[in-house]
């Protein structure tokens, strides 16, 4: 009994700090932010475009700068003033929301049944409902932070809620199609990652994968904030959310290879590529400037395709 408890503690420690937790997420986030500017310029200007890569540790510098800014601003809240009496509690709420937006995607990553995850051996990987709920926390916390800030920033909070709603329905329909075509009554993600055995499963994986590639990036707060309103937790949350969404996509769409070494290589590389691709699609592919027009374009393309995927899964299941 005690040995099983110790093994569970060790599994959780490895999952949280090494793989698929903090080290895995931070490394892929750094690589994504490092390569994205160059990939974006090539996407827009053509293959001859020359681009300067930012330092690999640039996101860490930004995070520390934002954390330092908040720390240096803290003494101002201690200044005795009747107008500032309510600030500490508001600041505490903002800090909780910011921390939740960073912790939730990391928890989602930890609980994903990725190949060689230490939690897989303990049978403690989460089901798809919990993962979806965790992935919704970051955009919701970003939206609430924007709404609480007031003024122009509150408009960005409304935009974040709109972005989440834009990607929510197509993604949920595509996920439902993947669950239906899998032929399993379990909502455990591990049961949905088996290699496809029929043409229907392959077809639905391809169609739903395309929908999720367009819809899931909207499950990420825009990050369009004034410099004096940004928080380190918000910044870290956006980076971690990108990796969690990409890993979630890879786990749902790609078949699981039989060999564990190849499976780990496939999912790590796919998570990195998809994280870059999702940002390119959401920020560079859609040339429409206004947020509303971009949302309408996504709904006009992703939603009908998601419905087709669900219909295919129902039709094949009835045969």
Distance CA 195, CA 253 (A): 10
CA distance readout (Å), 156 to 70, 97, 144, 187, 196:
21, 16, 10, 34, 41
The DSSP element (H or E) to which 309 belongs, if any, is helix 291-317
- Higher-pLDDT residue of 84 and 292 is 292
In this predicted model, which residue has the larger pLDDT, 247 or 47? 247
Average pLDDT of the segment spanning 188-213: 81
- Looking at per-residue pLDDT, the higher value among 123 and 59 belongs to 59
Q: What is the pLDDT of residues 211-238, one digit of tens each?
A: 999 999 999 887 655 444 567 888 999 9
| CA atoms within 13 A of residue 310's CA, in its CB half-sphere | 15
Assign 167 a pLDDT band (cuts: 50, 70, 90).
very high
CA distance linking residue 105 with residue 108, whole number of Å = 5
Contact 233, 69 (CB under 8 A): no
pLDDT of residue 48: 46
pLDDT at 89 over 70: no
Q: Are 8 and 120 in contact (CB under 8 A)?
A: no
**pLDDT for 175-186, tens place per residue?**
999 888 887 777
Segment 73-101 mean pLDDT: 59
Q: Which residue has the higher pLDDT, 174 or 181?
A: 174
Each residue of 15-54: pLDDT tens digit? 999 999 999 999 999 999 999 888 777 765 544 444 566 7
CA distance 240 to 275: 10
Question: Which residues are CB-contacts of 109 (< 8 A; sequence separation ≥ 6)?
Answer: 20, 21, 24, 25, 240, 243, 244, 247
Q: What pLDDT score does 28 carry? A: 96
- Is the distance from CB of 271 to CB of 28 less than 8 angstroms? yes
Report the C-alpha gap between 273 and 242 in whole angstroms.
11
Mean pLDDT of 182-207: 76
Residue 311 has pLDDT above 60, yes or no: yes
Give domain limits for the chain: 2-45+90-317
Whole-angstrom distance, CA of residue 78 vs CA of residue 62? 26
Residue 16: both structure tokens together: 């949280």
**4 in Cβ contact with 12 (< 8 Å):** no
Q: How far is CA 56 from CA 104, 185, 236, in A?
A: 25, 44, 15
Mean pLDDT of the chain: 80
Overall average pLDDT of the 115-136 stretch: 84
């Amino acid at each position: 009994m005690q040995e099983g408890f110790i093994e569970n503690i060790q599994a959780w420690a490895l999952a949280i700090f090494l793989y698929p937790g903090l080290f895995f997420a931070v490394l892929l986030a750094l690589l994504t932010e490092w390569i994205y500017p160059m990939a974006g310029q090539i996407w827009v200007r053509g293959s001859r475009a020359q681009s300067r890569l930012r330092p690999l540790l640039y996101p860490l510098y930004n995070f520390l700068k934002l954390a330092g800014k908040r720390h240096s601003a803290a003494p101002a809240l201690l200044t005795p003033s009747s107008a500032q009496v309510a600030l500490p509690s508001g600041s505490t709420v903002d800090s909780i929301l910011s921390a939740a937006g960073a912790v939730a995607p990391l928890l989602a990553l930890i609980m994903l049944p990725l190949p060689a995850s230490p939690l897989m051996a303990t049978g403690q990987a989460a089901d798809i409902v919990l993962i979806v709920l965790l992935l919704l926390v970051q955009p919701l916390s970003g939206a609430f932070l924007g709404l609480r800030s007031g003024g122009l920033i509150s408009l960005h909070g409304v935009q974040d809620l709109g972005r989440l709603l834009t990607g929510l329905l197509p993604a949920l329909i595509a996920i439902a199609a993947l669950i239906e075509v899998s032929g399993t009554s379990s909502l455990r993600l591990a049961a949905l990652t088996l290699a496809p055995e029929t043409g229907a499963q392959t077809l639905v994986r391809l169609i739903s994968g395309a929908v999720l590639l367009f819809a899931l990036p909207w499950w990420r707060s825009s990050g369009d904030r004034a410099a004096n309103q940004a928080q380190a937790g918000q910044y870290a949350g956006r980076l971690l959310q990108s990796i969690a969404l990409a890993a979630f996509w890879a786990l749902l769409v790609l078949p699981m290879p039989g060999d564990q070494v190849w499976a780990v290589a496939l999912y790590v590389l796919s998570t990195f590529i998809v994280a870059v691709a999702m940002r390119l699609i959401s920020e560079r592919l859609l040339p429409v400037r206004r947020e509303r027009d971009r949302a309408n374009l996504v709904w006009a393309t992703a939603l009908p395709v998601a419905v087709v995927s669900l219909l295919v899964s129902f039709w094949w299941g009835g045969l």
